[in-house]
Amino acid sequence: MESQITKLKRLTIANSNVFMVPCNLAKNFLSLLYLDFHDNLLVNNRLNETICKGSWPSLQTLNLSQNSLKSLEQTAEYTSRLPNLNNLDISQNNFGEIPDACEWPKHLKYLNLSSTQIPKVTKCIPPTLEVLDVSGNNLKEFGLQLSFLKELYLTRNQLKTLPGAAPIPNLVALSVRRNKLNGFSKEEFESFRRMELLDASDNNFICSCEFLSFIQHEARLAQVLVGWPDRYVCDSPLAVRGAQVGAVHLSLMECHRSLMVSLICVLVFLVILLLVAVGYKYHLVWYLRMTWAWLQAKRKPKRAPPKDVCYDAFVSYSENDSDWVENTMVQELEQACPPFRLCLHKRDFVPGKWIVDNIIDSIEKSRKTLFVLSEHFVQSEWCKYELDFSHFRLFDENNDAAILILLEPIQSNAIPKRFCKLRKIMNTKTYLEWPAGEEQQQVFWENLKGALKS
């Protein structure tokens, strides 16, 4: 029996309620290379007996998973007595804590610490490892310096980014499946220069434009990613949730949202600037205000009651013609017998009152409106405004309320096109022309006075 034990190469004692192996018995397994004690009742205070000095001298692989081990530090210390051990599985033991330093077998290459409730990784992890499995431990980061590590398994943890490549330069295979990765960049991926397999499936990927661009243009990914493309699914944006990462194509607007917002803001600004410029050039603000005033005036009676009429005529003229208006026409009409009451903007407008209101009130308080037409008149912006309102108010009511005086010859086509009614009146209605001769001027005044009285 003893000779058979010494020649034994592999031994599995699983699910057998074993809590210890006597030291004297363990020393007899001189040739044993593989020992599997998984799913038993091994505890730390008896592990000293099971792995005593001189026991299992040739052992290379040891499986102590699913036992009742509580101290990682003691477990490491006892297994360090196995000089040839290179593969150790102590997964599914509730260690709970991990010390800052541990003593391990000198040639340990493979270590399985998955589902052991360790809250972090420390320098307790042996630097000689080539394969490390720390899956299922709720780890939030991994930054150990393991220069010889080739395979790293971090499945079912809480990592939000890939571990840094610099501390593990020889890594060939990495599993970060079922973590909290939102994505990874081209720089992160390319930093693992020897990477052959990457399992990043079953994560909550944010399918951003940068991530999608990298995924769709990196030809090597299809060969490296494990489970590609079926197990790589978008979690956000909401519009593509549940879709495979490789099948999602976002629009230009979705990919450059900030740029599009900036562009729209610039366009809106330019449109506003253009409207302001056009409004300034064509006096749109004036017309809007004037139209509003006219609409307000429309709500009033068409003509003011007789008791509200203060003037016989409102005089619209260019400032360049003020000398003739003030020194000739006003003198003639206001000194007549009986005198005519004329409204002049320079003299009779209420100071501080909005100009449109002054025009409206003056026209509504006048029986007639005198337009002193000249080349200066049709070129004057001010006269255009008065003419505009007269177009709205006077001509819509009664063409006879307008009296046209031609101070000098003027062609009807010289009048702005938008004053179509004024041109029509000039073409269809008799107007008074200021003559050069004194006798003719006397007739002019008589005709003008007659028109004002009508």
Q: How many Å apart are CA 150 and CA 146, to the nearest integer? A: 9
Asked if residues 180 and 159 have their Cβ atoms less than 8 Å apart, the reply is: yes
Domain assignment of residue 273, given as a range? 257-299
Tell me, yes or no, whether 286 and 406 share the same domain.
no
Give the neighbor-by-neighbor strand order of the sheet with 432-433.
Answer: 342-344, 311-316, 366-373, 402-406, 432-433
Q: What is the DSSP letter of 2?
A: H
Output phi, psi for 376, to 5 deg.
Answer: -65, -40
Tell me, yes or no, whether 268 and 354 share the same domain.
no
426 SS3 class: helix
Tell me, yes or no, whether 274 and 319 share the same domain.
no
pLDDT bin (cut points 50, 70, 90) of residue 429 is low
Tell me, yes or no, whether 307 and 403 share the same domain.
yes
pLDDT of residue 407: 87
Tell me, yes or no, whether 263 and 402 share the same domain.
no
Q: What is the pLDDT of residues 275-325, one digit of tens each?
A: 888 776 666 666 676 667 666 656 655 555 555 788 999 998 888 888 999
Lowest mean pLDDT among 99-113, 158-172, 303-317: 303-317
Q: How many Å apart are CA 174 and CA 154, to the nearest integer? A: 8
Q: How many Å apart are CA 356 and CA 287, to the nearest integer? A: 10
Tell me, yes or no, whether 293 and 316 share the same domain.
no
Give the CA angle between residues 13, 96, 153 to the nearest 5°: 70
pLDDT of residue 412: 64
Asked if the model's pLDDT at residue 1 lies above 60, the reply is: no
Helical segments of 94-237, H only = 186-191, 209-217, 221-224
Asked if residues 385 and 358 have their Cβ atoms less than 8 Å apart, the reply is: no
Please tell me the total count of domains within the chain. Answer: 2
Whole-model pTM: value is 0.62
Cα 429 to the chain's mean position, in Å? Answer: 64
Q: What is the pLDDT of residues 118-164, one digit of tens each?
A: 999 999 999 999 999 999 998 999 999 999 999 999 999 999 999 99
Q: How many Å apart are CA 183 and CA 292, to the nearest integer? A: 59
Tell me, yes or no, whether 336 and 439 share the same domain.
yes
Q: Residue 443's domain is classified under what CATH number?
A: 3.40.50.10140
Tell me, yes or no, whether 269 and 354 share the same domain.
no
CA-to-CA separations, 213 to 200, 210, 237, 245, 265, in angstroms, rounded = 17, 5, 15, 10, 26
Q: Which residues make beta-bridge pairs with 206?
A: 236
Per-residue burial over 134-155, b = 16 or more CB atoms within 10 Å of its CB, e = otherwise: bbbbebeebebebeebbbbbbb
210 SS3 class: helix
Q: Which residue has the tokens 């050069």?
A: 436
Taking phi first (over 0 means left), then psi (-120 to 50 degrees means alpha), and beta for anything else, what does residue 248 get?
Answer: beta
Q: Please measure the distance between the N-terminal and C-terminal CA atoms of the chain and give it in whole angstroms.
A: 146
379 SS3 class: helix
Tell me, yes or no, whether 315 and 436 share the same domain.
yes
Q: Is residue 390 part of a domain?
A: yes
199 SS3 class: strand
- DSSP of 102-123, one letter per residue? ----TT--EEE-TTS--SS--T
